[in-house]
Amino acid sequence: MAKIDSAFFNLGYLDRLSYLDTPVHRLDPRSKLITSLIFIFVIVSFHKYEISMLLPFMLFPVSIASLGEIPFAYLAKKIMIVAPFAVMVGIFNPVFDRGILMHIGDTGISGGWISFISIMLRFILTISAVFILISTTGFTGVCLALERMKVPKIFAVQLLFLYRYIFVLIEEVHSMMAARALRSFNGRGMGHKVAGGIIGHLLLRTIDRARRIHLAMHCRGFEGDIHIMRAMKFRPADALFIVAWSSAFLCFRFYDIPGIIGKVTGGMFR
């Protein structure tokens, strides 16, 4: 039950971060969304053995998180939660790709290990960008930005409901777990045999809760429009944000910045 509480408040904390007042938070959600999408597209465009040219891209999440006052420890915990999915994607690369691509001293490094490290690095960069986007914009702001960018309205609204319904689902699970704990004695009713019944009751309760939420929304005049407290206004600063970071991404993509720095520093210390 403590784990469920922890998950619930972690999700709530992600939303609370979006209400901070920093230069990043004051940017138009569309500018942050477009920049994040460009960032992710450029990251995934690298070939599978690339590592060094991905390193300069760390500047974007580190800078935005710092300016947006997003705790790095919190981001690290969120990334670690979903990291096993990336590990499962690339864990077998060293098994099937055993060709030696580089040497560190006398030790040969196979292409499988290099591609695995590249996958993990891309995962960290893209997931951190997504978490930072939500933390500085709010999921409602992201969905509204999608709608204003001419994404089908029904898709944006359904995406918002899917996110919001997570909170309702966790609340129902919390209530059922608390009820089961209060009605159990000496471990009875706490085993796996009752899991099926609990899942069935959870489905029925969430359907009933969804119906009541739907009626409440209609009573309050909801007509499918997404609203946020901060007015959306695309300003010159938003355009500058997109152009500056997009230019930096293209520079990192087509120029080997770590290699250039290595040559320069190597020449200085000869």
- Which residues lie closer than 8 Å to 175 by C-beta, 6 or more apart? none
Question: Taking 50 as the threshold, does the pLDDT of residue 183 lie above it?
Answer: yes
Question: Taking 70 as the threshold, does the pLDDT of residue 228 lie above it?
Answer: no
Question: Domain coordinates of the chain in residue numbers?
Answer: 1-18+152-223, 20-137+232-254
C-alpha 89/C-alpha 214 separation (Å) is 39
pLDDT of res. 1: 46
10 vs 171: which has the higher pLDDT: 171
Q: What is the pLDDT of residues 14-60, one digit of tens each?
A: 778 888 889 998 899 999 999 999 999 999 999 888 888 999 999 99
Q: In the predicted model, what is the mean pLDDT of residues 60-88?
A: 89
Q: In the predicted model, what is the mean pLDDT of residues 136-159?
A: 84
What are the strands, taking DSSP E only, across the chain?
100-104, 107-110
Identify the H or E element spanning 131.
helix 111-137
190 vs 74: which has the higher pLDDT: 74
Amino acid identity, position 225: D
Question: Taking 50 as the threshold, does the pLDDT of residue 8 lie above it?
Answer: no
CA angle 42, 94, 259 (to 5 degrees): 45
Distinct helix (H) and strand (E) counts, the chain: 11, 2
pTM over 0.85: no
Q: What is the pLDDT of residues 229-245, one digit of tens each?
A: 566 788 899 999 999 99
